[in-house]
Structure 1
Amino acid sequence: MFDHRSLQLLNVMVHYPKLSIPELRLQMNLTPRQFAYSLDKLNDGLTSHSLPKIQVFQTGFKIDERIKAYWNQEELSLNRKQLIFQENERLYLIYLYTYIRREQIAIIHYQSLLQVSRNTALADVKKLRALCQGTGVKLSYNRTNGFNLEGEERYKRRFASVCIGSLLQLPMGRSGIQQVLDSWKYEDKSKAIRLHLSEMAKEYTVDFVGNRLDQLIYELLFLQFRYGRHHLTLPKKQIQLIKTQPLFHMGKALSAYLFDEVTETEIIYLTIQLLSATQGISHIHPNEELINVSDAIIHEVERLTFVPFKEKHILQSILYKHLVPAYFRIMCEVPLSNPLIDTIQTEHGVLFRLVKQALKPFSDYTGQLISDEEIGYFTILFGGHVRKLETKAKVYRATIVCPNGVSSSMMLQTQLRQLFPYLHFTESRSVAEMEKISSDSYDMIFSTIYLESPKPVYLTRPLLTALEEEYLQQAVAADFNLPDQSNVSIDEFMATIRRHATIKNERALYEELTKHLRKSYSTERSYTPMLFELLTADKIHFTKASLDWREAITLAAKPLEEQHYITSDYTQAMIDRVLEIGPFIHVGKGIAIPHARPEQGVEKLGMSLLRLEEPVLLLDQKEHAIDMFICLAAIDNKLHLKALTELTSFLVNEESLQRLKNATTADEIIAMMQKKGEDKK
């Protein structure tokens, strides 16, 4: 019989077949004994379904193609009574079960649905009620009606969307949803809905985001079973906004397909769901103001990260496509699930915070706060640009399949280009596009979902950890006899340590060793310095001289030139960019941060500061009077971000900014920077 952990293990094995057993245990936080038990449980379950066992040898494993096909088919043919759901899955399933109820529900119904005891079911009901607080929905009970949902219909639907989206990200989520449908004897029409949406997408020339499409299909399916029983009202602002959208006609056609009787409110509701699940191509929402917002966001990211983007027109197009569905989600209160949000905030926290600041024009435009989940996807989008791309000889052809949208595709492609500079990457493709092209047009596939292909398919995620990068490199190197970036096998290294020492935290040791031993990460590039480590006393100086703005930039950059951080070409490039673009280096409050591209003359990462007693006028414009220049020399588009974040905290705080400007010696400024660094620890 399968349990939750054994199915989780199967899910990881299917998606990451190149992992070693030690890394597999680390991914799931399992002890050797727990892993052995879960593997036995998994193999017993596979045997009961006439499938071969998973073979384990030395530090690796082999999973039969029949198992992969079984796991990745749209409907798992699991015996529902074999499934044991974890707590968060049970809460979502109780809600959905109640959401489409056909008759009175008592606690025994929940027990039967989830195969749990009465006490567990009662505890789950209590936890679901707590989870619903603040959502506008309440799970109530009385003897006449049993368990039922109270609140406005739009709030009930919104929380159902949260439940469906969350379940689809869990190993047994689809099976749980199917169990809810089976319990009420509803026919699963998800395949028919998917086919109809596919045909409509061609007719209305729209593209759906892969993960949003799956969620949309189940939301529509559940809505069919609920339709007509509950009155829906929507805010007037939403009604006015949606009725003017080109996709309103698509919403009308979809309503006619789903329901016998169609109301305008339901058409508007369905149009909202469509708009929030499609890629924002121009004819969906042609809006000049939103295009301007897109430009303003890019300008803010450039200003905050000091990364001048190449091929900005491509970024503008991609960002607009992302902004359109985000705009409708925010304006129409459509919840968004982002399974990567914890990873993004943990491993890309600096960039996340900078992008959050940069989204202020979007927040101002919508009049709403942008959720962390939305910010996470924007971080992925810009993360694809805020990383250095290297160019070397390219050999094999690689294509990328990432159905979670253009943002994820771009971020994944950027990381893979860095990992495999010798590969030629074609443009990212959808699953549908991959079915149409010949396998002769590529040599390998990197994909975030399982695919059938005669060529090697490497399962990955839009954001890779250092450990995942390591194993991906090893897998490709082994399959194609390509250079492996690693000096040694991390697994072999760990095995040696285990034989001679007790390890308190395997994951932490694994990740530290990975960072230190990977050849592609030099000592310099694996460490992101803090502000006081870059802005040292020998790079801080003051002047009473009367200068023009060109002379001020030249003087500010002088310590970096003299100490061979930059060449004279870089100094000239900083001046030329101001002449070309305008006073963009003025970040406000009399502070300018001149910078140019790394390839224009940067030798190593550095910063310098010049304090002027007599302000200079940038481009001779009175509104750009500058009394402090901070030159930035970045070797790539990432390592300076930590120091930049600290500097930003100085600039936005009036008190610390004033102390910075009142300083008369380098030692005073250094002391402030060091204190800031200590506070960060």
Structure 2
Amino acid sequence: MIFSVLKEAVSEVDAMTQNLRRNVDDQLYLTILVMLLKMRSANPEFRYETWQNAGSKYDLGLEMIINTVKQFKDASQIEHVIGFSKRLCIKMGELYHTDFLTNNQVFFNQITSHISLMIKRIRSGISVENPIFFDFMRDNKELFLTTKRICEELEEEFEFSASAQEVSFLAIYFASELERNVAVERNRPTLLIVCAEGMAVSNMLQVQLNQLFEFSSISTTSLRKFDQKMLDQFDYVLTTIKIPDMTSKKIIRIHSYLQKEDMQVLQEHFQMKLVTNRKQAIDKFSEIMNIISENTQITNLSKLELDLLDVLTKQPKKEHIELPEIEFKEQLIVTKKHVNTWQQAIRLGTEVLFQTGCIEKRYTEKIIQNLKSFGPYMVIAPGIVLAHASPKDGVLKDSMAVTVLEEGISFFDRYGEPVRLIFTLAFESKEARRLVEQLMKVVLNEEQVSRILSAKSHKDIYNYTKSAIYE
């Protein structure tokens, strides 16, 4: 009895799959068979053929069930393929220090598509031969063996085994992508940033440029060290100040903090695209500015541009980086209601550093001399100055002072906003210079700047500043 029911059910499955014109593998076949047997158990009178000939609505229902089962299986296979592809790319990337997974989406899509077909061939028992297998092995044996080893490590988890011929195709994909990356790196320009001292401002520009473009390398130097030989060593030289007695198409003058106009100039010279997510943001910049201009009255255009560009190009939060401790304490905070000149404002910060043994007297004069010689390049944002000179100009220990001016003083800079906040930096070690990037983030954070400026005591200014830098 049971055998006859099973035999009849098998016949029905054969008829059903034939009528539906579906490619049905063993797993799906058994699924449909079990489904029919369950329907027979619930209703002994059920016959698929009867329902089909009667044009019953149940015929459509059965077809939908079969399609659903098959689609589920297809979806499962796709996840299986993508899972294998991701694991393979990650493991290869770790060994070859290359981001095969996200750096080039076209590559990942191509190798994933190939893996999908490869798995189907393997499970169908179809063998393929690579016509350039031996030539490729001769030139790329190490890469092939690495790819093969990783595929073998993934065999048990993904339940298939790739032949050496199949693995060689995958290795060719990785070899091609590695060669492409080398070519791209070779074509990226080298860059030198020149400012008066080659410290704070140049380091801030370096951070910005690394976020916006992809260079082979970016170096920084001071004006005093810069010469014709260095000009020959780099593809481009960016400078925030006028370089005397030297003209070259390689030299590009920019502001101390990159604005939209600077980016346009750089794109024209470099013939480079902005990093993709940055480009999408910058492309929207003009449109946003036009909308704002049409609907509101702008009181400070430069500051608005700065704030918008910061928001549009903001980097995802990175892992915490251990920052060096410097001489920075409550005694290095200065507040003043009014000063008569910008020189006096500079001296407020340097004086407390001198009194605490962090700098020599000549450090103050060098800062003032640089500002007179090269202009207000130390004004790196509206109302904010990074006052600094070279370590050789009298730095005794890594340190920083903060000056807050109630009324502010003009530095005759392009922002046209009175300076109220001065960070006086005296950095001797390379480790301390890493703080410049953190200071840049503080400067661009309007809430943090406002908090420092509105603080009621030296202690509050100190605490707000330290937490903003080291948070």
> TM-score by structure 1 length?
0.31
Bigger-Rg structure (1/2): 2
* Greater relative contact order (CA < 8 Å, ≥ 6 in sequence): 2
Q: What TM-score comes out, normalization by structure 2 length?
A: 0.43
